[in-house]
Structure 1
């Protein structure tokens, strides 16, 4: 390619880079492990740009030409950003299962008042919920599972080509299904602690009837916390294994893969 040909193709190349980065960059900012709030913004930006450079050669032939009008360009970029947020958000929602489950566990064993900042679960989250967020990120990165949403992003251009109308109905259905799956898996993970909490509260109620002079809540609260933490330590390996299996199944159904 001569210098003149390169200068002629440069505006088209620049538009294609911006168009692909609109989808990939928006998704990378949300992807579990790669897009955590603890990761520096330049690092996340670098991952997004690197992903663009890797995928652009294979996508350039299928990308639309730059619209002639500014509103058309804005509309095209907005749809690409929505597509990235859709896929990245679905991946993030599935990864939040462990944090939601441990947030529920914290409420059941009496640790709901131990709060720490957590950008994912809200301004203040239970310490166990924050542990779940960090553990999910570590598991995603250490297991190599982050490759699934990246592959979904690459394959998403076959499902939703750049310039195609936004599938609002399908997007809403996917979000509803992801939310239902999150609650189902989170409750399944927290199931043993729900059963334990029922048994503990039943025992406390019986003790209060048998010995009303005993301050049951004061006596039982430390034991409830210790028993809950012991049960969590005991069930941690199968709990994390179940979470990884559920996360792998959820990510295998992401747009472009499912």
Structure 2
């Protein structure tokens, strides 16, 4: 065995620890990244993506990574800390993309489709069919337009902001999560705003009808009218809604920590 081979074998434990340290952040983030971390994406594909990112970034990041600690407890602490950073980064991107699914839930309630429930892993055990469809549409939009590349770049550049082994600033991290949640809810409300206005106008019209013609069974008029008007409005507004959503998501992704 040559001296070079012996040195390589001696460096393997430190290299393995550094690989686990990087994978803890990358793997945790990939679990939540929009488009790439969807529940419909098989776990093997997400694992392969995390390993591919590890192979790409480890040679670049290795000089700045901490060495393997002597104590096992310290090694576990570093790995858990990196996983928390990855979950935070992936969670910021995921919260932004929930706006379309939340808007779909609100729209379904406003147009009378709240009774059509399906399993929704994003928003809970059950959600409306329209909200689930909007959630899947969000994933397709992120993948189809290439927006997924922005969170990936932010994740790679995050090591310049939060080096491996450095503690996550909990105060700033909590503020960033709260701001992302507020921005997502604001976007969802803006997307659903036309349907709120439509529901108000429809209910006012039905109230006037009930006052002017009490003999008319307004309930039997309201249900089909609400469905037809809501579906027609959705057909008209869906394209501009998706355009506005994509623009807002791009702006939100570009504001992620580490994004350029």
TM (norm. structure 2) is: 0.97
**1:15-58 CA deviation, whole Å, 9 max, x = no partner?**
11100000000000111111110111111111111111111111
Matching of residue 118 in structure 1 with residue 120 in structure 2: yes
Matching of residue 6 in structure 1 with residue 11 in structure 2: no
Match in the other structure for 1:78:
80
Match in the other structure for 1:19:
21
1:100 aligns with one of 102, 111, 123: 102
2:204 aligns with one of 177, 197, 202: 202
Q: Could you tell me how far 1:2 is from its partner in structure 2?
A: 3.1
- Secondary structure of 1:190's counterpart equals helix
- Secondary structure of 1:123's counterpart equals strand
For 1:45 and 1:213, how far apart are their aligned partners in 2?
64
Residues 244-253 or 213-222, more deviating: 213-222
Q: Could you tell me how far 1:72 is from its partner in structure 2?
A: 1.0
**1:89-123 CA deviation, whole Å, 9 max, x = no partner?**
01110011100111110111111111011100111
Residues 238-247 or 61-70, more deviating: 61-70
Gaps of 5+ in 1: none
Q: Could you tell me how far 1:213 is from its partner in structure 2?
A: 2.0
Matching of residue 159 in structure 1 with residue 161 in structure 2: yes
RMSD of the TM alignment (CA)?
1.1
After the TM superposition, which parts of structure 1 deviate over 4 Å for at least 4 consecutive aligned residues? none
- Secondary structure of 2:32's counterpart equals coil
Residues 70-79 or 232-241, more deviating: 70-79
Match in the other structure for 2:93:
91
- Secondary structure of 1:77's counterpart equals helix
Match in the other structure for 1:136:
138
Gaps of 5+ in 2: none
* Counterpart mapping for 1:207-226 below 5 A: 207-226=209-228
